[in-house]
Amino acid sequence: MLMEKKLVKIGEAAKLLGTSPDTLRKWEVSGELLPKRKTKGGTRYYDVAELLNLGDEDAPTVCYARVSSHDQKEDLQRQQEMLETYCAAKGWRTEVIADLGSGMNYRKKGLNKLLEMILKKRMKRLVITHKDRLLRFGAELVFALCEAQAIEIIIIHKGEQPRFEEELAKDVLEIITVFSARLYGSRSRKNKQLIDKLTEVASEIENDHVTGTQD
C-alpha cells in the first residue's frame, strides 16, 4: 500500500526551502517550481518529499545586495538590478536578498537569512557585486561556509568599489558611537563632543576621497 503524500501550505513550504512565500509565488509564475495542488480559492499545497529532495540543479542562485544607510537606497536598487541582469544572462533561477545596515553589523535580517540558507544548503551559488557588500570584515568566514557546502561564490567586481573610504568611515563611526554611548551615556556632554569630532573626521575622509576621485 502506497503511503499518502504529505502536502503543506505555501508558508510551511517556504520555511522548508529557507525562502519566502512571495518567492514561491514568483517561481510558480515562471514555471520553475509548481505546487502539487491548488484549490479554487488559490490555496497552494506542496509535496514535502519533493521539496526536500530538490537537487543542486533545482536550487536557486542567491544574490546578496547591501548598503549602509537610507540615503544609499538608489545604490541598493542599482546593485539589485546588476545582480538580476547578470544572473538572467546566465539563465539562473534567482532570489535576491537585500540588506540595509553597516557592513560591521552581523545581525542584519538579510544576512541571517543568507547564512541559514547556506547552512541548510538551500542554494546553488552566491552572487555579490563586491566582496565588502557581504561584510566589511569576516566575509572569508561566509565564503568558507559556502565552500564546505559546495556552494559556488561569484563576485562580479573584484576591486574595491567607489566610496569605500566613505562607507568605512561611517561604519567605524557607528561602532564608536555605540561604545561611547555605553561608556559615557547617550546624553552626556563628553559623548556629544566625541561624536561631533568623529563626524568631522568622517566628513574629512569623505571630502578627501571625492577630491581624489576628481583629480
Over its length of 215 residues, how does the chain's per-residue pLDDT go in tens digits?
Answer: 334 568 899 999 988 887 889 989 988 888 778 898 999 899 999 988 777 665 555 688 999 999 888 888 888 999 999 999 999 999 888 999 999 888 777 889 999 999 988 988 888 999 999 888 888 778 899 999 999 988 999 999 876 555 555 566 666 665 565 555 555 555 566 666 666 666 666 556 555 544 554 44
Q: Are 28 and 35 in contact (CB under 8 A)?
A: yes
Determine the 3-state secondary structure of 94 from DSSP. Answer: strand
The domain 7-52 is classified under which CATH number: 3.90.660.10, 1.10.1660.10, 3.40.50.300, 2.60.40.420? 1.10.1660.10
- CATH superfamily, with its number, for domain 61-155: Resolvase, N-terminal catalytic domain (3.40.50.1390)
Can you give the pLDDT at residue 185? 58
- For residue 192, give every residue at least 6 positions away whose Cβ sits within 8 Å of its Cβ, in sequence order, or none: none
Sorted by where each begins, the domain ranges of the chain are: 7-52, 61-155, 164-214
With b for 16 or more beta-carbon neighbours within 10 A and e for fewer, the 141-161 pattern comes to ebbeebeeeebeebbeeeeee
Can you give the pLDDT at residue 210? 47
Determine the 3-state secondary structure of 44 from DSSP. Answer: strand
Residue type, 191: N
Residues with a known catalytic role: 68
